[in-house]
Structure 1
Amino acid sequence: MREFSEDYLERTREGMWDDSREALEALALDSHERILDVGCGTGELSRVLAEETPETTDVVGCDADPTLLAVASAGDDPVTAVAGDALRLPFPDDSFDLVVCQALLINLPDPATAVAEFARVSSDLVAAVEPDNAAVEIDSSVESEGNLERRARRAYLDGVGTDVSLGADARDAFEEADIAVVETRQYDHVRTIEPPYCEGALEAARRKATGAGLADDRETMLEGELTETEYDDLRSAWRTMGRDVIDQMGAREYQREETVPFFVTVGRVRSTDRTSWVDGSTSTPNDV
């Protein structure tokens, strides 16, 4: 799977659920005893799950990257973290009654295989919180920023080997793994930049002005149909846009709103005999 740095995960996940946690209602968090967060990274979702569940609920994070796990399990609000591969989870069958992931399936070449593994270790629910990165919307006071971001995003998506625009289509992976989809609910994560500017916003502007962000993604972008000449032209325009952002920041005029649509898909695991639901009912997927 694709790998991410601690800074990237904290930047993209931190504060995601600060505005509303309504989209998590279908997970029935107050009714579970043991919850597993697969691909927990630095533990942002794990901490949200712990906040939304009774004190008696055990929340465990699992990730393949020991560096990220060290961050998740440190600090004032540590996560109980276990090293493990999402495709070969280090837990016996039915170890949890809810297994959930956030922005994990979009980075796997075969999401259904991972979902099936989630179902193996869950006795009840499986859930995935996945973005549609192709539907991100940008509203910026710098006129060129939205268009350039769309161009860069299209090129990046074209070069990525996994479906990073999975979004609501995560339900297909659930159905392929023989899990009945209970509900899919959309949650729009809105990130706003406005004065006074935090250090993260200032650093993002500097990276635009130098083209560092596109440089990090150059190899991926060139895996698609984008040519090197087109990439160079895009990066040049990107740097110009970045300087405009910095100028507007200096005048305290820069404002930006980014909306990333996430889809929370929840499914119920079948019992081991594959003939009834774990809750004892005899419903079929078509009845849900």
Structure 2
Amino acid sequence: MPRLGPLYRAAALRRGVAAVPALPSREVTLEGVTVDRAHLADYSRVCGFRLRDELPATYPHVVAFPLAMTLMTGRDFPFPLLGLIHVANRVEVLGPLRSSASFAFGVRAEGLRPHPRGTQLDVITTATVDGALVWRDTSTYLRRGPGAPSEKGAPSDPPSPNAVWRVPRRVGADYAGVSGDRNPIHTSRVLAKVFGFPRTIAHGMWTKARCLAALEGRLPDTYSVDVAFKLPVLLPATVGFSAAAKGSGWDFGVHDERSGRPHLTGHVR
């Protein structure tokens, strides 16, 4: 895997937006990727999964993170990585994700499109085993345009929570350590304030993983899980988790326990 240090330096030094934004046509690939069992154990602990031979659906996302960083810090990528907002994520489990497997990963970008708040694009990551597609991840990012309104997240009347989670401040640093995503908004209160947050915030993919951990043992062998990231979880936090069976899948969400404002909405199909 590429080393993350040089990629973060490249991201920090990148300035400006391409005059005519266009996504790179190339795909970043790597074969023969195997699972580090100690790293898997650390990830499972941070996100609440049991340690099993079958990988959590969100785990390949962090394994392939350096490849996504390689693509998104390249000179042919139209936007600086810093400033992109991860607004949605879809994971498709299409086959067995065994920790003993050897994976081939590919990362590409597509779907550049206008959005009322700026411009959106998708970063697609795939994993194959012996040539068979077993996993696909679609991360949707927003590049806010000048004067674009931010997401407010109006108060709502959320469902009664199935569980109340107390999310400690250390979750930001713990998840940064296992995911490689060391954006300072998750780890430094001072730098989080520079970016407009009163405190550090939890990673959106940690929140998604924590929801799937709560549904562990009740998910089918193959499925897709879609989430929309709403308001950030300011650390520390107390949040409500709600889940309801929907056919053979689930609707779920995370909301602020006191205000009812949503942090994440999602479904499994």
Alignment TM-score > 0.5, same fold: no
TM-score (norm 2): 0.24
TM-score (norm 1): 0.23
Of Structure 1 and Structure 2, the greater strand share is in 2
Of Structure 1 and Structure 2, the greater helix share is in 1
- Bigger radius of gyration, 1 or 2? 1
